[in-house]
């Protein structure tokens, strides 16, 4: 029964990890990465759309992103959306594509990015803890309803802690990789 409860909540743990990975992808490392523009919303045809829905974003070289709208009439809207997103980029429009040259990160900015990675990691750990609390509540309810014994509850909580530890280790590993990526020149 406890295994079933744990299995039912596995997607909650996975969702916390997926969200964490998505958040990490938006942290600037000094290298061009299309994920840096994930938060940009372009006003297009009367509604706001993610930039990837109206343009292709490619990496030209280590420091340059190239954005090619499928409809060339959207160049101005895309350029304006990038500027409005306040990401610290200065897009240049040549009439065909928009290029963004990423400025090099200085040491102070790199340290800020590492702090940001730490904050994002803490949010992910909170997500894992919240999922753990939900599992514990369900297990204790099953025990109070007489569906499982105290021994089963104890075994279930031990398995749950192993699962939580596994996800926290993965969060720590991912944070370490991102911090190394941010700090390397």
CATH fold of 34-101: Gyrase A; domain 2 (3.30.1360)
What 8-state DSSP symbol labels residue 16? H
**Count of CA atoms in the C-beta half-sphere (13 A) of 91:** 26
What mean pLDDT do residues 48-67 have? 88
Domain extents for the chain?
A: 2-26+106-183, 34-101
Range from 6-20, 25-39, 59-73 carrying the lowest mean pLDDT = 25-39
Which of these, 97, 79, 100, 81, lies nearest to 32 by C-alpha position? 100
Q: Do domains 2-26+106-183 and 34-101 have the same CATH topology?
A: no
What is the predicted pLDDT for the residue at 136? 92
- How far is CA 100 from each of CA 63, 78, 103, 106, 166, rounded to the nearest angstrom? 8, 12, 9, 18, 39
Question: What pTM was estimated for this model as a whole?
Answer: 0.69
Distance CA 99, CA 121 (A): 31
What mean pLDDT do residues 96-108 have? 84
Query: Three-state SS for 44?
Result: strand
Is-contact 136 148, C-beta < 8 A?
A: no
What is the predicted pLDDT for the residue at 185? 57
Domain over 2-26+106-183 is classified CATH 1.10.132.20? yes
pLDDT band at 132; cut points 50, 70, 90: very high
Which of these, 78, 80, 34, 74, lies nearest to 57 by C-alpha position? 34
Looking at mean pLDDT, say which of 40-54, 68-82, 86-100, 125-139 comes out highest. 125-139
């Amino acid at each position: 029964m406890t295994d079933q409860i744990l299995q039912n909540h596995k997607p909650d743990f996975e969702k916390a990890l997926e969200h964490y990975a998505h958040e990490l992808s938006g942290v600037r490392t000094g290298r061009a990465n299309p994920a840096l523009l994930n938060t940009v919303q372009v006003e297009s045809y009367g509604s706001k759309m993610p930039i990837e829905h109206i343009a292709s974003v490619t990496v030209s070289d280590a420091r340059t992103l190239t954005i090619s709208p499928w409809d060339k009439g959207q160049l101005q809207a895309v350029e304006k959306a990038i500027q409005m997103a306040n990401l610290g980029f200065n897009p240049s429009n040549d009439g065909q594509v928009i290029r963004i040259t990423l400025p090099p990160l200085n040491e102070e900015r790199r340290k800020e990015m590492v702090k940001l990675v730490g904050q994002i990691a803490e949010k992910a750990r909170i997500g894992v803890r919240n999922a753990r609390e939900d599992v514990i509540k369900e297990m204790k309810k099953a025990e109070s309803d007489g569906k499982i014994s105290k021994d089963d509850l104890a075994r279930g909580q031990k398995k749950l802690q192993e699962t939580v530890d596994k996800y926290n280790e993965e969060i720590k590993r991912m944070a370490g990789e991102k911090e190394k990526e941010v700090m390397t020149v």
